[in-house]
Structure 1
Amino acid sequence: MQEVGETGAGAVLLRRAAAGDQRAWQELVDCNASVVWGVSRAFTTSTADAEDVCQATWLLLAENLDRLRDPGSLSAWLVTTARRESLRLHRARKRESPVGLDSEALAVAEHAEDPEHKVLRDLTSSRLAQSFAELPQRCQQLLRVLAVAPEASYAQVSEVLGWPRGTIGPKKSRCLAELRRRMLAADVPEEVAG
């Protein structure tokens, strides 16, 4: 996948988008969507929050297309903006305190399945979530980015997380091994733990 900012064509694409060219805008979004989504998902706790961050990031880009000083750094600008929007949303969520809402009443009804499979699925999901939550924060961020943007290159993941590119592969292996170890320790069957 080629990012917009990697060639001189990126500057032309930005100018066309700023002039109102919808095809250029769509190409900008297509080229950078996985990066924005990866950052959003890595720094938020829910899909809905990540979607909000993505929308805010693209809106800010649309509002600032003509103000970008260095079109070659569009990807970095998007990463920084998505990270800042994630942190802004996180601070806003901490201030919220809904009263009288039962989160189970708001949940979407699940498809009917037999009780045995539901119990096993719920048990495995809760143990996976618990094992994942016990991982160090850096592992959680890396695995989230890789899960939501599996096609992203290590260079893109490196840019999103601000880590050296050469550390992504080894860190991924260590994090997955640690997650597997924690799941096995939680008595998750080995075929489920991977």
Structure 2
Amino acid sequence: MIELGEAALHLRRAAEGDQQAWRVVVDTYTPVVWGVSRAFTRTPADAEDVCQLTWLSLAENLHELRDPNRLSGWLVTTARREAIRLSRARQRESPIGLDAGDFGHPEHAEPAEHHALRLLTGSRLGQAFGQLPQRCQQLLRVLAVAPEASYAQVSEALGMPMGTIGPKKGRCLTELRRRLLGAELPEEVAG
């Protein structure tokens, strides 16, 4: 992780056209952008789109950032706004009852029994996860898709006090496990 002063320096150099400085900025902040993108979108493909839109927005606005030391917050806010905008657009364009995730996978890729068990378990996990409060879902998504992100980054991404992240994660996982066991899954599946 680069220090705040270094981030401002790399950002200024990137604005001047230094590709290496741009790469350092992208490499440093991608876990945060990805975590926010994944927390506020339904699919990995949408999260990738949000990440790309966020980095494009930064590239277009490099010269206009007032305080380069607040880059992380700017990226978090931009990713969240892009995710919300994309989510609204997807709601207008998706046919009801069709899940884009069901297309493009050959049915013979795995034995039918494994496929059926995976769908059953996945749907129960998805249902249990979907019953969690929104904040739990967002926190667990960020921690799952960006495990290398620090608690400070997660705190900034979700607007959650850093000292509450660990305890909140524990409570959310306990609740998810309780819901899975309540769904009569075998304990080895529920975790």
SS at match of 1:69: coil
Q: Map of 1:37-186 to 2, 5 A cutoff?
A: 37-98=34-95, 103=100, 106-110=103-107, 112-186=109-183
Letter aligned with residue 144 of structure 1: R
Alpha-carbon displacement from aligned partner over 1:98-153 (angstroms, at most 9, x marks no partner): 49x78587332255322222222221111111110111111100000001001111
For the residues of structure 2 that align with 1:8 and 1:27, how far apart are their CA atoms? 13
> How far is the alpha carbon of 1:7 from its aligned partner?
2.6
- TM-score (normalised: structure 2): 0.93
CA distance in 2, matches of 1:137, 1:127: 18
* 2:26 matches 1:29: yes
- 5+ residue gaps, structure 1, are none
Q: Distance in 1 between matches of 2:59 and 2:117?
A: 46
Structure 2 unpaired stretches of 5+: none
In 2: Cα distance, 1:107 partner to 1:186 partner:
30
Give the superposition deviation at 1:88: 1.1
Identity, in percent, stands at: 70
Distance in 2 between the 1:63 and 1:185 partners? 49
Cα 1:96–1:148 shift into 2, 3 Å: same
DSSP-derived class of the 1:151 partner: coil
> Letter of the aligned partner of 2:186 in structure 1?
P
